Amino acid sequence: MAAGAFEGQYVWSPAANDRQLASACMDIRAGRYFSAHEVLRETREDFEVRAHRSLVLASEAAGSDLAERWLAEEPSPEAALLWARVAMLRALHMADARDRRQDTLVRIAQTACERAAQLLPTDPTPWVAQLALTRLNRPQDPAPQGLLTAPTGPWYLFAHILRLDPWHREAHHRFLSFFFTRYGGSSSASWDVSAFLSQRAPASSPLRLLPLVALVEDYNPSALLADRTWEQPQWITTAMGIHHNWFPQVAGYRFAPVLDLAYLAHALFMAKREFEAREVLTAMGPYASRMPWSVFGDPEEQLTKARRSCGLPIPSAP
C-alpha cells in the first residue's frame, strides 16, 4: 500500500488510492460499465476488495439505470452483484427517509441478493448485502453463548457468511450496526457485540477496531467530559494495541484502508497519543473519510485539527 504524500488538499473519494476503482467510478458516471466488470471480475478470490469495490461502484450507480441495464445486457456474476448492491442501497435510503416504497424496494433487494449469490456461491458479498437489510426487518435469532446481554439478531445469516469468510470486514461492521441504538438496538448490546467480535479476531486483524466504532457511535456530546472518554485506560490500551498489532500490517495492503485508519487515528488523537496518531495520519496520505470525524463536527475541520495537533501539514486556503 502506498497512500502517497500529502499534497495540501484532502481527497474524500472512497476509492482512495485504488486507481482502477476510481477510473471505473468515472466510467459509471458516464454510463459505461465495462471497467466496473473488469475491477469486479479480478476480485473473485479477494472478498475484501470485492466487497469494497462493489459498494463504492454501487454508490455511483444507484442514481441511474446502469446496474439494471448491465444486468439485462450481460447477466454475469459481476452485473448481478452490482445490481444487488444498488438495490440494497436504494432500500436502505428509502427506509432512512421513511418512504412508503421501502417494503417494495426491500423485496427487490432481497431477490437481487439471492440471484447474485446463486451465480457465484463462494462469494459472501451478496449475503453481506442481505445482512445490511436486516436492520429493516429485525430478525431475532438467539445469540450464542459468551455475550452478557444475549442480544437477539441476525445471527444465523451472520454465521452463514462466516462460513464463507470468517473475518469478512464489512460483514462484521454490518452486523455490529444492527445493534446500534439508531437502528433499534441498544448501547449495551452494541458494546457487548463489539467486544465479542473483536476478541475472537486475531490481534493483527482490523476487526479489533470494532469497539472503537461502537465508542464513536455511542458518543454523546452533552455528556459530562464526553471528549475525555478516549483518555480512559481501557480505551488507551485498545487503541495502542491496535496500533502495535494491526497498523504495521497496513503497509502490505493492496490499497489504503482509509476508514479503519481514520478510526485509529481519531482514537489515538483523542487519547492524547499524538506520536502514534501522527504515524497513522501520515499513512493515510491525502485520503480522508467523513467518519468518524463528522460525529464531532465538520469532518474537514476535525481532521485538520487532528493533523495540526500532530504537527502535520494541513490544507491551504483555496
Residue 8 pLDDT greater than 90, yes or no: no
Query: pLDDT digit string (tens) for 248-294?
Result: 999 999 999 999 999 999 999 999 999 999 999 999 999 999 999 99
Q: How sure is the predictor about 73, in pLDDT bands with cuts at 50, 70 and 90?
A: very high
Distance in angstroms (rounded) separating the CA atoms of residues 11 and 184: 33
Query: pLDDT digit string (tens) for 125-141?
Result: 999 999 999 999 999 99
Q: What is the 3-state secondary structure (H, E, C) of the chain?
A: CCCCCCCCCCECCCCCCCHHHHHHHHHHHCCCCHHHHHHHHCCCCCHHHHHHHHHHHHHHHCCCCHHHHHHHHCCCHHHHHHHHHHHHHHHHHHHHCCCCCHHHHHHHHHHHHHHHHHHCCCCCHHHHHHHHHHHHHCCCECCCCCCCCCCCECHHHHHHHHHHCCCCHHHHHHHHHHCCHHHCCCHHHHHHHHHHHHHHCCCCCHHHHHHHHHHHHCCCCCCCCHHHHHHCHHHHHHHHHHHHHCHHHHHHCCCCCHHHHHHHHHHHHHCCCHHHHHHHHHHHCCECCCCCHHHHCCHHHHHHHHHHHCCCCCCCCC
Residue 27 pLDDT greater than 70, yes or no: yes
Which pTM was predicted? 0.95
Distance in angstroms (rounded) separating the CA atoms of residues 118 and 80: 10
Residue 271 CA to its chain's centroid (Å): 23
Sort 98 into a burial class: Cβ within 10 Å, 0-12 / 13-18 / 19+. exposed
Distance in angstroms (rounded) separating the CA atoms of residues 257 and 261: 6
The grid cell for 52 is: 469494497
pLDDT score recorded for residue 230: 97
Q: How sure is the predictor about 98, in pLDDT bands with cuts at 50, 70 and 90?
A: confident
Distance in angstroms (rounded) separating the CA atoms of residues 180 and 183: 6
pLDDT score recorded for residue 316: 72
Distance in angstroms (rounded) separating the CA atoms of residues 109 and 92: 10
Q: How sure is the predictor about 315, in pLDDT bands with cuts at 50, 70 and 90?
A: confident
Portion of the chain with pLDDT greater than 70, in percent: 97
pLDDT score recorded for residue 104: 95
Distance in angstroms (rounded) separating the CA atoms of residues 243 and 3: 18
Q: How sure is the predictor about 224, in pLDDT bands with cuts at 50, 70 and 90?
A: confident
pLDDT score recorded for residue 3: 58
Q: Tell me what the mean pLDDT of segment 229-234 comes to.
A: 97
Q: How sure is the predictor about 5, in pLDDT bands with cuts at 50, 70 and 90?
A: low
Between CA 285 and CA 292, with CA 290 as vertex, the angle to 5 degrees is 95
Amino acid letter, residue 70: W
Query: pLDDT digit string (tens) for 111-128?
Result: 999 999 999 999 999 999
Query: pLDDT digit string (tens) for 170-215?
Result: 999 999 999 999 999 999 999 999 999 999 999 999 999 999 999 9
The answer to whether the beta carbons of residues 110 and 130 sit under 8 Å apart is yes
Largest distance between two CA atoms of the chain: 58
Distance in angstroms (rounded) separating the CA atoms of residues 178 and 114: 20
Task: Please confirm whether the linkage preceding 154 is cis (ω < 30° from 0).
Answer: no
